[in-house]
């Protein structure tokens, strides 16, 4: 059935695609389906159509790319305006300390659970047993080796002190142009504190920043109306080019990752919402479905950030001061999905090469995975570089480690989609929890039955 309609060519594919677009418009404008449901339908329909048409479906990728670029266009303006407006709303810069400490501690705690779940999933499912990792694609091995060399060169050229100093932008405008999020966060916080110190919070400057934040959020709402079309295109492309054939050697790894991420979302993040702060769990998930589906289709926490901020603020009642401060940090440093993945891949590799792991090896896996979550490897291809590094640390030869990662590499997009959705859900859960603790959560908005 996979690619069974590919021989029909592009014309029938585009006919079906245009019909799907008309359907999405009808569902929204006439039947008034909520956006999250339209996006979910688009995700399923796009995946199915792409699966049937194979490589022909790749022709719709520019539609998805356009949607992602529209979202990316908003990232820097949204981070800057929401953080500055958020700091102004806090009024007292001392509150930033409490906010920051609670945020980082929560992210670290959820990461510990993520690593443990990844290792546990590997022990239970045993995805690496009887896997022929020597079958890795040669081009994938070459691509991976090139990325690792780039990552190693970047890592060696910077000391730990250099990486910390890079958070301070020499030129804030240049940092914005280059899309360097941590320096932008740093400058935005200082700028907001400066406005408060100058007693301009209620003056023209403060009002301009608050109005700008509202304007960018409104543009985000407009862009999200295009989400069903973009998600359809991205899923059609992914399923058309990858299909399900790549699962032959990696089905158990995929199942283990998806189950572990689902458990992490439901019980760790769900525990934060239901047990720690006593809020209704179903309402939380229904409030961020737009962000979760966008994260899954784009496989980018940063690209999803405008949607996440909008959902958390409008649907869950988290004040902009908290959403604007917590979520950009989460999109940068919270990588629970990747941490879980590192733990799982380490078990996958050990099983593939027949390696028995002891306490020291499990500890090494945990430390490395936590390092990912706090942005310790802020370099190109960091997760790939760290994965190979972890495998060699636990006794897998570098040659075997490269073969194993190269085997996974062509299939990584489908895995990355689930990891990203996990990360974004965690960002929203932490923002909601911190907002509740800080008295910055409108529970009336959170608990209402209908979504905007």
pLDDT tens readout for residues 287-316: 999 899 888 888 888 788 888 998 999 999
Q: Quote the radius of gyration of the chain (alpha carbons, Å).
A: 22
* pTM for the predicted model, two decimal places: 0.81
For 124-167, the DSSP string reads HH-TTTT--GGG--HHHHHHHHHHHHHHHHHHHT--HHHHHHTT
Distances (CA, A) of 111 to 31, 127, 325, 342: 41, 22, 20, 11
Cα 38 to Cα 231: distance, rounded to the nearest angstrom: 10
The pLDDT of residue 49 is: 93
377 φ, ψ (degrees, to nearest 5)? -115, 65
| Residues listed for the chain | 452
Inter-residue contact 330 to 181 (CB < 8 Å): no
Inter-residue contact 195 to 209 (CB < 8 Å): yes
Cα 115 to Cα 121: distance, rounded to the nearest angstrom: 10
H or E element in which residue 444 lies: helix 443-447
Could you tell me the mean pLDDT of each successive run of 10 residues in the chain, 452 residues long?
77 94 93 87 91 90 91 86 82 74 88 91 89 66 65 60 81 88 86 86 85 87 89 89 67 91 96 94 92 87 86 91 84 83 90 84 80 49 64 80 80 84 94 92 80 46
The pLDDT of residue 316 is: 94
The pLDDT of residue 450 is: 45
The pLDDT of residue 376 is: 40
Inter-residue contact 136 to 406 (CB < 8 Å): yes
H or E element in which residue 185 lies: helix 181-197
pLDDT tens readout for residues 324-383: 888 888 877 788 888 898 889 989 988 888 888 888 888 888 887 776 555 544 343 456
The pLDDT of residue 452 is: 46
Q: What would the two tokens of residue 120 be?
A: 């546990």
Enumerate residues 6+ apart whose C-beta is below 8 A from 194.
none
């Amino acid at each position: 059935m996979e690619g069974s309609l590919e021989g029909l060519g592009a014309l029938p594919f585009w006919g079906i695609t245009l019909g799907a677009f008309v359907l999405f418009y009808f569902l929204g404008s006439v039947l008034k389906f909520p956006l999250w449901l339209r996006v979910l339908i688009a995700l399923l329909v796009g995946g199915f159509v792409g699966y049937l048409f194979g490589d022909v479906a790749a022709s719709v990728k520019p539609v998805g790319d356009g949607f992602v670029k529209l979202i990316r266009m908003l990232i820097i303006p949204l981070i800057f305006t929401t953080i500055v407006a958020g700091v102004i709303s806090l009024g007292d810069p001392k509150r930033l300390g409490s906010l920051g400490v609670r945020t980082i501690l929560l992210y670290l705690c959820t990461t510990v659970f993520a690593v443990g779940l990844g290792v546990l999933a590997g022990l239970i499912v045993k995805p690496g047993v009887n896997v022929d990792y020597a079958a890795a694609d040669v081009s994938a091995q070459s691509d991976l080796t090139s990325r690792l060399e780039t990552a190693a060169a970047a890592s060696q050229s910077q000391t730990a002190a250099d990486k910390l100093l890079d958070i301070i932008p020499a030129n804030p405008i240049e940092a914005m142009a280059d899309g360097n999020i941590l320096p932008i966060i740093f400058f935005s916080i200082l700028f907001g504190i400066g406005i408060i110190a100058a007693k301009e919070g209620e003056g023209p400057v403060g009002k301009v920043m608050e109005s700008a934040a509202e304007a960018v959020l409104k543009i985000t709402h407009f862009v999200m109306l295009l989400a069903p079309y973009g998600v359809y295109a991205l899923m059609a492309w992914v399923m058309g080019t990858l299909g399900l054939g790549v699962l032959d050697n990696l089905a158990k790894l995929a199942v283990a990752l998806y189950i572990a991420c689902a458990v992490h979302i439901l019980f760790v993040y769900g525990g934060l919402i239901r047990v720690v702060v006593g809020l209704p769990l179903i309402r939380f998930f229904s409030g961020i479905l737009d962000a979760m589906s966008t994260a899954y289709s784009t496989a980018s926490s940063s690209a999803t950030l405008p949607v996440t901020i909008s959902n958390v603020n409008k649907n869950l009642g988290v004040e902009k001061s908290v959403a604007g401060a917590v979520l950009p940090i989460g999109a940068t440093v919270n990588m629970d999905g990747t941490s879980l993945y590192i733990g799982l891949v380490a078990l996958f590799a050990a099983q593939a090469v027949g390696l028995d792991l002891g306490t020291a090896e499990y500890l090494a896996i945990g430390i490395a995975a936590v390092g990912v979550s706090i942005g310790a490897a802020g370099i190109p291809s960091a997760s790939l570089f760290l994965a190979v590094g972890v495998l060699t640390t636990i006794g897998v030869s570098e040659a075997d480690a490269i073969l194993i990662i190269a085997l996974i590499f062509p299939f990584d997009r489908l895995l990355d989609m689930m990891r990203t959705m996990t990360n974004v859900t965690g960002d929203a859960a932490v923002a909601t929890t911190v907002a509740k603790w800080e008295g910055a959560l409108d529970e009336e908005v959170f608990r209402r039955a209908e979504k905007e």
